Chains A and B, each alone.
Chain A
Amino acid sequence: MAATAEQINELPVLTGAHRESEPHPTNGYKRFEIGSFTFTRDEYFTRIQCPTSTHVMDVENFLRSLMRDVAWGFFYGWVNFDEVFGTVNNYGTVDVFMGAYNQGYKDSGTDFTERFEAGVLLACFRSLLSDWTNAGFDPFAAPLETGSARGPKNGNNDEAVNFQRELAERFVGLPGDSPIRSDENGRPVNRQFADVDQSEPEVHAEPGFEGQLAGFNLFRYLSRSPVTWNPSIVSVVRSSAYCPTSEEHILPVDHGNDRVEWFIQMSDEITWKVADKNTAAPMSVVTMKAGDVACMPADIRHRGFSPKRSMLLVWENLTPGLEKRYADGELPPVPATF
């Protein structure tokens, strides 16, 4: 029988640490187990097993998805690695699911979900990423910028998989806050943004007001992002957070919203495929060009396609507990009607 929403809400929280096997005698990769889930990889594929089914994914797609899930701290709401497997952030605990948001699995009763304390799941996923990511493959990079994850185990790329998001507390460049990106702090201009103006605003503070005025070139900042589909935070106005990001190729996951978020396309173009959060049924295609603005309602999942590296401003609301207010129906999934 498919799990009901009530049954999922009452899932016990598993706190036991994950288990790792010895390296496979042929391909060199470890097997990882947490709760009832088992993760194995070979030279091409990731195999995920749970009590109700087995799921197979291309290993590069799996690692790109897992990289975002880990780097985002499970993000806001649903991170669907594909139409079958993913995680749901409950903020403190995380659900790992197979087919729980896929109508076919639900209809056949083969969906499966377990709930983990976030820290133990994060430790499992971090260790898996470290073991399965070969030297020369960067799961944060666009495909044209990196090598392959395929083949037998070949070293690691811990520098890439341990990349930390840059999160300003108030405003980039203020004393003690997140720094402006530059060659000197290891952020060269990306090849796809070689034509972006690198000038910074002129900030003239009168004596006594030094450190109170601030400004920086956001386009220059984004032109120097070393990663794709991984928002930073550059300014916070109470609960309003600007989370810009540079995008190239495909967002590796379908992000399922647990709150409203907004996209402001600052350069170039992204096409978003939007589907129902619970069933994965197609809903719309949203094409965004420079200057376009669109809301992503709280009841959808979306995946972006960016043919050239582009600049996207993701705008989030950091108010604690919003996910519950949307889930309970207190807040409508669309923020304005007309």
Chain B
Amino acid sequence: MSVTTVFGSIDSFKKGGVEITGNEDARDYLFSNMFEVAGNAAPWERTVIAKNLENTIECIRAEGDSPWYICNHDETALLMQGSMEVRFIQPADSGLAPPEEKQGSVKLAGQPEGRAMGHVNATRGHLVLLPAGAAYQFRAQELSVILLQTIQGDESVENWAEICQH
């Protein structure tokens, strides 16, 4: 008998939910759906969908070319829908890298000068390392959804009341 593994997308997802059976509040579960979040987001907006102290998972609606970013710690990008290229540059100006105490990624004014490090082509389910100190840009070949494993920073947007069941 054949099996079908069910994945979601912005155009095709079914959302579960929280049913309270005791003395509790559904808001405590911060329940959301990443495809619903991405469907309502602006391109490249980084919506926090999970938070654990300073650590975050951020949902990105990917369309076209993103700005360039740099971060002083590793991040990862998990592609949950679509396809993308991730380009990496080692900046010639070491001053572009955020200071050690700065958490989360920083948006750059444009493509930095420096040595091309290479690129990664990814499709659904692929997890890509965004190494510390490397400037990076996403280029989405179609409407895509990215989950970013990172630390809360300047680009992180919290919209819990809008995205969560309550």
Contacts and interface: CB of A to CB of B under 8 A. Distances in A.
Interface of A: 170-172, 174, 191-197, 199-206, 208-209, 212-220, 234-240, 242, 260-262, 264-269, 275-276, 281-297, 308, 311, 315-317, 319, 331, 333-338
Interface string B116-136: 111111111111110100100
- Which 9 A-B residue pairs are closest in the complex by CB-CB distance? A219-B125, A287-B16, A291-B8, A338-B160, A240-B55, A290-B8, A283-B22, A205-B118, A215-B128
B55 A204 contact: no
Nearest to A286: B18
A284 B33 contact: no
Nearest to B30: A295
A264 B50 contact: yes
Given A242-B149, A336-B30, A260 B122 contact: no
A195 B3 contact: yes
Nearest to A297: B28
The CB with the most chain A CB atoms within 10 A, among B3, B147, B160, is that of B3
Given A201-B123, A297-B29, A215 B5 contact: no
A195, A199, A284 — most chain B CB neighbours (10 Å): A284
B120 A267 contact: no
A290 B33 CA distance: 8
Interface stretch (B60-68, B70-78, B91-99): B70-78
Contact of A217 (B5, B23, B51, B125): B125
B16 A238 contact: no
B32 A286 contact: no
A237 B55 contact: yes
A209 B158 contact: no
A237 B7 contact: no
A301 B20 CA distance: 14
Nearest to B160: A338
B121 A201 contact: yes
Given A289-B16, A295-B29, A215 B55 contact: no
Given A264-B50, A317-B55, A197 B123 contact: yes
Contacts of A262: 50, 52, 57
Contact of A195 (B2, B123, B128): B2
Interface in B94-122: 115-122
28 contacts: A172-B127, A174-B129, A193-B5, A202-B120, A204-B120, A208-B115, A209-B90, A213-B88, A215-B128, A219-B125, A235-B149, A240-B151, A242-B127, A262-B57, A267-B6, A269-B16, A284-B22, A286-B17, A286-B19, A289-B14, A290-B8, A291-B35, A294-B18, A294-B30, A295-B30, A296-B29, A334-B28, A335-B52
B101 to A, nearest CB: 13
A235 B16 contact: no
B124 A197 contact: yes
B145 to A, nearest CB: 8
A320 B104 CA distance: 21
B22 A268 contact: no
Given A216-B127, A290-B13, A204 B122 contact: no
Nearest to A285: B19
Given A286-B31, A338-B166, A213 B117 contact: yes
B126 A218 contact: yes
A7 B50 CA distance: 36
Given A235-B76, A238-B74, A287-B16, 4 more contacts: A193-B3, A205-B118, A217-B125, A268-B6
Given A217-B125, A264-B147, A237 B76 contact: yes
Contacts of B27: 337-338
B164 interface: yes
Given A235-B127, A292-B33, A284 B55 contact: no
Contacts of A199: 123
Contact of A239 (B7, B55, B115): B55
A284 B26 contact: yes
